[in-house]
Structure 1
């Protein structure tokens, strides 16, 4: 009944609603911008939030995010190629990791095997198959070896506008047809039994050194980047905990983006007033 809302994935399942986004100052935990968005994904909200902060800084004569080299951190929900390109082009000093940044960190090398759930499909009811991570990709030679040691053929190769290369491989029909693991490797094993069918297909996205994603990965994976991003959770998460748990805003009670945003900003305003009242006299 609310055309401005969207489906939101939460810990309690999917709901129809809005996503409250807030930007928080690290030193004082003051909310410097708060907006509500009726979209299921967060990544498109990064630019509107930063643009609003830029306007607020200019109005308060604080300079700008770029001139003052303000450090911006955001979680993986804001990570995509378009955002990285925007941050790089605008020269914003930001650290926004991608979903795989933990796997590149030696400290978390065994995290997935020790605590993660492996071979899980994102769509309920879809057959589980051997994941692409089990296939050996050689980026330099653009070759791929399946878990059974058979070389796959390069089906397609493309490069997008951001310089990211996509390599799609397919198993040879003779290899997949006679493979003892084809029932756990292919969602439709019978496809390899006909000449018109296909073998196992797998694709990889390769970040070239010039892509915005590679630029951000170098920043996040650096020693300084890890140190900076390590402060994000202690900066913004307590603010959301205060609003959600202490102030009781565990869901929006209104309809329409304008009303929901008013409710969200009102709670954020109460948070700021409380911070100023308790700690405003402290330098």
Structure 2
């Protein structure tokens, strides 16, 4: 519900700098069908881990994408019947087996002991879910997951333990927004100062003064003279 608004603002800021959004790495809290479909429609690859009750496969059942139907372990088809809504108001596709097939099936006692026929409900965003799940199984998906855990998660830990965001001491969304904004500014300023300091040190180390051949021989002779306790002569 929050991703479309955040995505619009992010794309506007990127366009002002002639940049485009191609990949989006987000927390598992943004994993839902509408978000996956929105990002795919805008040409953005979603690296959002799939979690929750979604299962890419139905154990024992084979899905035929061309016919849009499942086949049970007994070889009976479960074609797509209709669209329906769940308790949360989300839309899903309903696949039903024939009543006579289930009643005469020897696997009914273990498959559907208390139902008249087998029913499979899949979200209408199942294809987008499946593609996202397949991406997170790849090597790049695993690497991006580690990147997110090492860059995003420590920020929340610092904000909670070192910047006083264990609780909000203001009322209303406007006050909470101002508190988060000021805390983020302080965190980014501290990070920027640390980055500039490291950049200055690395520049000094990366650009040493080149020594001439005579200076190099003199340095080696000086080191040998100090070891032998001899007077230094150039």
Q: Please list the CA deviations of residues 152-187 of structure 1 after superposition, one character each: whole Å capped at 9, or x if unmatched.
A: 86583459xxxx9824336858579xx7669xx77x
Pick one of 152, 156, 164 that aligns with 2:81.
156
Q: How does 1:89-108 map to 2 (within 5 A)?
A: 89-99=41-51
Between the aligned partners of 2:79 and 2:196, the Cα distance in structure 1 is 62
SS of the residue 2:93 aligns to: strand
The aligned residue for residue 137 of structure 1 is 61
Gaps of 5+ in 2: 85-90, 200-234
Is 1:203 aligned with 2:121?
yes
Gaps of 5+ in 1: 1-43, 105-131, 193-197
Between the aligned partners of 2:48 and 2:6, the Cα distance in structure 1 is 14
Task: State which structure, 1 or 2, has the greater radius of gyration over its C-alpha atoms.
Answer: 2
Is 1:227 aligned with 2:143?
yes
Are residues 45 and 276 of structure 1, via their aligned partners in 2, closer, same or farther at CA, if it must alter by over 3 Å? same
The aligned residue for residue 54 of structure 1 is 11
CA RMSD of aligned residues (A): 4.1
Where is the strand percentage greater, Structure 1 or Structure 2? 1
Is 1:63 aligned with 2:18?
yes
Displacement after TM superposition at 1:232 (Å):
0.8
Between the aligned partners of 2:146 and 2:55, the Cα distance in structure 1 is 16
Is 1:281 aligned with 2:206?
no
Displacement after TM superposition at 1:264 (Å):
1.5
Higher relative contact order (CA 8 A, sep 6+): 1
Q: Please list the CA deviations of residues 73-94 of structure 1 after superposition, one character each: whole Å capped at 9, or x if unmatched.
A: 0122112222222222322344
Are residues 91 and 155 of structure 1, via their aligned partners in 2, closer, same or farther at CA, if it must alter by over 3 Å? closer
Displacement after TM superposition at 1:63 (Å):
2.3
Where is the helix percentage greater, Structure 1 or Structure 2? 2
Are residues 206 and 137 of structure 1, via their aligned partners in 2, closer, same or farther at CA, if it must alter by over 3 Å? farther
Is the 1:97–1:216 contact (alpha carbons within 8 Å) kept by the matching residues of 2? Answer: yes
The aligned residue for residue 260 of structure 1 is 176
Q: Please list the CA deviations of residues 19-74 of structure 1 after superposition, one character each: whole Å capped at 9, or x if unmatched.
A: xxxxxxxxxxxxxxxxxxxxxxxxx222222322333344xx532233xx5x4201
TM-score normalized with structure 1 length: 0.51
